[in-house]
Amino acid sequence: MSVRVTQKSYKVSTSGPQAFSSHSYTSGPGDHISSSSFSRVGSSSFRRGLGEGYGGASGMGGITAITTLNNKFASFVDKQEKTAQRNMDNMFESYINNLRRQLKTPGQEKLKLEAELGNMQGMVEDFKNKYEDENNKRAEVENEIDVDEGYMNKVELESRLEGLPDEINFLKQLYEEEIWELQSPISDISVVLSMDNNRSLGMNSIISEVKAPYEEIANSESMYQIKYEELQTLAGKHKDDLWCIETEISKMNRNISRLQAETEGLKGHRASLEALIADAEQRGELVVKDANAKLSELEVSLQRAKQDMAWQLLEYQELMNVKLALDIEIANYRKLLEGEESRLESGMQNMIIYTKTTSGYAGGLNSTYGGLTSPHFGSGVGSTSFSCTSTTRAVVVKKIKTHDGKLVS
């Protein structure tokens, strides 16, 4: 904001129009306060009043006009100063309100960004918790499934399954060997019958001797049959166990495949969550950096606004000082005008005016009256001026002093 002060000036002109100019204030691009300057260009009544040397009623009318104009000018200056003060107050108030609004904006932005940052941090914490839960589930599944133990059981059962046919073949061979050993003595028995006329043959001993090998053969066959049945039962049992183990192995293989697929899916989900977390952290950092940059910019703007406000307050103080000086000047001007008017009113009672027409200018107020030697009239105040143009008529003013009704000089 720029403040331009144009002080009022009052120029005294020996021959020219009456001119008044007042001060104007310009504050900023939108506030412009200016007083209207006015001038009297050769007013006939004013020139006539001064040119004729205050002759009779015309001289009193000129003084009245001057007083009226002076009062109007003073009231106009007062109104102008009040208007300028009011405009300056409004301007500063609007500027301060604007600065307050600008000051509130960063706070609101900061609260909004803090809320967004809290939401992002909450999302990051949720993703971290989900990731930890998935890792825990994966560890539990891996602990529940002991792949190595299942594989070892499978290998052991397969080896036992491969050994069962060999064992069966071995038992068959053993059975055949035992049968052969039992049958070979029977084929080599030679029966020798001794004929004796003795009536006592001893058949019981012979039958017992013949019966004993056959009983052994029968016992061997029954034992073989029992062992064979036991082996058949054991083979069926092992076959059932092998089928159950194979079924369990297939189930385990399916579970392993399913768990591997789930593990791969969890790995992909973990990678996506890590990417989301990294993206969220990056965006959060960018948001925080942007907020810090905006906050620093707003702080700089606030500091600049404070400096501008300080300068404006200084300029306002200077304007108030100028206003005070102008008020003092106007008061002095009024006092001088009132004193001059009283002197003129007291002097007009003792004035005799002679007028004569000449070809040139040859008259004026003498030095004993107000210290003026020219036909122009000046109030002696440096802040205003009255001027009139010369005429072809001469005015001779003679001052006559009286005391108690008697002529002194």
- Asked if residue 347 belongs to a domain, the reply is yes
In this structure, are residues 284 and 123 in contact, taking their beta carbons and an 8 Å threshold?
Answer: no
- Asked if residue 72 belongs to a domain, the reply is yes
Average pLDDT for the chain:
69
Q: Is the dihedral of CA 63, 69, 72, 78 positive or negative?
A: negative
Is the predicted pLDDT of residue 33 greater than 50, yes or no?
Answer: no
In this structure, are residues 385 and 69 in contact, taking their beta carbons and an 8 Å threshold?
Answer: no
Domain count, the chain: 1
CB atoms within 10 A of CB 326: 19
- Asked if residue 176 belongs to a domain, the reply is no
* Calpha distance 281→279 (Å, rounded): 5
pTM of the model: 0.28
Better pLDDT: 223 or 145:
223
pLDDT score, position 405: 53
Render pLDDT for 105-137 as a digit per residue (tens, 0 to 9).
Answer: 877 888 888 888 888 888 888 888 888 888 888
- Average pLDDT score over residue span 276-303: 87
Which DSSP symbol is given to 201?
Answer: -
Least confident of 140-144, 199-203, 226-230, 240-244: 199-203
* Calpha distance 394→131 (Å, rounded): 115
- Average pLDDT score over residue span 340-361: 59
- Asked if residue 150 belongs to a domain, the reply is no
- Asked if residue 273 belongs to a domain, the reply is no
Per-residue pLDDT band at 216 (split at 50, 70, 90): confident
- Asked if residue 25 belongs to a domain, the reply is yes
Residue where the block lists tokens 């491969």: 162
Domain that holds residue 38: 3-113+305-407
pLDDT score, position 103: 80
- Asked if residue 46 belongs to a domain, the reply is yes
CA neighbor of 104 nearest in space, from 287, 289, 304, 301: 301
pLDDT score, position 146: 63
- Asked if residue 79 belongs to a domain, the reply is yes
pLDDT score, position 350: 53
- Average pLDDT score over residue span 362-385: 37
Per-residue pLDDT band at 402 (split at 50, 70, 90): low
